[in-house]
């Protein structure tokens, strides 16, 4: 397998921090994503390399092995175990044949003989499967898209994957699709697909978990005298009773009119409406006269 310089793939130095790795990955993943570059094999290959590089370099343990073993980083533990075993056997005179242990530069040859074709020529067949790498993807959605459970088809590394997106998924939340990552080596299992949801909000509602918040204008006369007002909820309009002498900033709760609770079918948070009293403008002479009468009555 040809060596891939993951640092060069992401365009970063070996001294880059984890945050810098993530930043570089997100920038390149957006640029080369298959949804943005349909039927572009070059972009598809580049996107795969970017995901592989991020999978390794964003994980401190994997990155440490990669820096030490290069292309054979996934078999690093097996190599170190074999080294320890060989040294132990030589110490007790059981390994045979004399000679020293493996040098630090010999592990590629060691892996070829241990896992490749040369293993059979030694009179034994030793196979050890290694799990494939995880793939990372981002999915851009609007808040309206996650109010109800929906199904999507994603294209990841040229493969169509059917995905059910549960209602109530959070911005930044990551869900795992088992077995949809890279193929394993030597018969090992596939990795997983990790999808991060980036949820924008084009609505008037502010979301906090499963609760929603919104402001509603209320004219001065209704605030003083009371009455009915029609307000928006996420799934339609409702009519509310306004109490007389309602103050600016008054908050009312509409139970069960919030956002779906993730993974709890039929459960919803609450909607909180804050009244903003709107002062009348462009008053006529008669209106000003009546307000003066009210002012005199109060005094």
Q: Specify the pLDDT at position 107.
A: 45
Same fold, 135-200 and 206-298: yes
Residue 279 reports pLDDT greater than 90: yes
d(CA 185, CA 63): 19
Q: What is the pLDDT of residues 36-58, one digit of tens each?
A: 787 788 888 888 889 888 988 98
Answer yes or no: CATH 2.60.260.20 is held by domain 135-200.
yes
CATH number for the region 6-121 comes to 1.10.287.110
Residues sharing a CB contact under 8 Å with residue 158, sequence separation 6 or more, in sequence order: 34, 44
User: Angle at Cα 232 formed by Cα 229 and Cα 233, nearest 5°?
Assistant: 125
CATH topology of domain 206-298: HSP40/DNAj peptide-binding domain (2.60.260)
- Only one residue has tokens 């440490």, namely 64
| C-alpha 216, offset from chain centre | 33
Q: Specify the pLDDT at position 222.
A: 96
- Per DSSP, the residues of 64-92 read HHHHHHGGGGGGHHHHHHHHHHHHHHHHT
- β-pairing, 193-200 vs 174-177, is antiparallel
Point out the least confidently predicted range of 60-64, 128-132, 190-194. Answer: 128-132
Q: Which of 8, 100, 89, 6 is nearest to 53 (CA)?
A: 6
d(CA 160, CA 173): 21
Q: Specify the pLDDT at position 173.
A: 92
| C-alpha 211, offset from chain centre | 21
| CA-CA-CA-CA dihedral for 108, 110, 113, 119, to nearest 10 | -150
Residue 218 phi/psi, 5-degree rounding, is -135, 125
d(CA 118, CA 109): 10
Sheet of 174-177: strands edge to edge?
135-142, 193-200, 174-177
How confident is residue 251, by pLDDT bands cut at 50, 70 and 90? very high
Q: Specify the pLDDT at position 76.
A: 63
d(CA 286, CA 296): 15
Residue ranges of domains in the chain: 6-121, 135-200, 206-298
Q: What is the pLDDT of residues 187-228, one digit of tens each?
A: 889 999 999 999 999 999 999 999 999 999 999 999 999 999
Residue 279 phi/psi, 5-degree rounding, is -75, 140
The secondary structure of the chain in percent helix, strand, coil, rounded to multiples of 5, reads: 35, 25, 40
CB neighbour class for 58 (10 Å; exposed up to 12, middle 13-18, buried from 19) = middle
Q: What six digits make up the tokens of 135?
A: 């793939």
Q: What is the pLDDT of residues 97-108, one digit of tens each?
A: 444 444 444 444
CB neighbour class for 80 (10 Å; exposed up to 12, middle 13-18, buried from 19) = middle
CB neighbour class for 50 (10 Å; exposed up to 12, middle 13-18, buried from 19) = buried
């Amino acid at each position: 397998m040809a060596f891939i310089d993951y640092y060069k793939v992401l365009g970063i130095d070996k001294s880059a921090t984890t945050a810098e790795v993530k930043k570089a990955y997100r920038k390149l993943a957006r640029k080369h994503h298959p949804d943005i570059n349909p039927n572009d094999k070059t972009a598809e290959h580049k996107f795969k390399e970017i995901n592989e590089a991020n999978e390794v370099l964003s994980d401190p343990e994997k990155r440490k092995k990669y820096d030490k073993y290069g292309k054979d980083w996934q078999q690093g533990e097996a190599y170190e175990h074999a080294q320890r075993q060989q040294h132990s056997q030589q110490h007790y005179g059981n390994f045979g044949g004399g000679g020293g242990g493996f040098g630090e530069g010999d592990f590629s040859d060691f892996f070829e003989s241990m896992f490749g074709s040369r293993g059979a020529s030694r009179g034994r067949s030793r196979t050890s499967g290694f799990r494939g790498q995880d793939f990372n993807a981002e999915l851009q959605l609007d808040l309206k898209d996650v109010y109800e459970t929906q199904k999507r088809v994603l294209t990841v590394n040229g493969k169509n994957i059917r995905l059910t997106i549960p209602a109530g998924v959070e911005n930044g939340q990551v869900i795992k699709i088992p077995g949809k990552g890279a193929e394993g080596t030597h018969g090992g299992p596939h990795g997983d697909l990790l999808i991060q949801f980036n949820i924008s909000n084009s609505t008037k509602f502010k979301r906090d978990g499963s609760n929603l918040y919104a402001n509603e204008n209320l004219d001065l006369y209704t605030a003083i005298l009371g009455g009915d007002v029609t307000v928006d909820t996420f799934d339609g309009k409702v009519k509310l009773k306004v109490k007389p002498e309602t103050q600016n900033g008054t908050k009312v709760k509409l139970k069960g009119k919030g956002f779906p609770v993730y993974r709890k079918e039929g459960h919803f948070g609450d909607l909180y409406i804050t009244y903003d009293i709107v002062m009348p403008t462009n008053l006529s002479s008669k209106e000003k006269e009546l307000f003066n009468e009210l002012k005199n009555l109060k005094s």
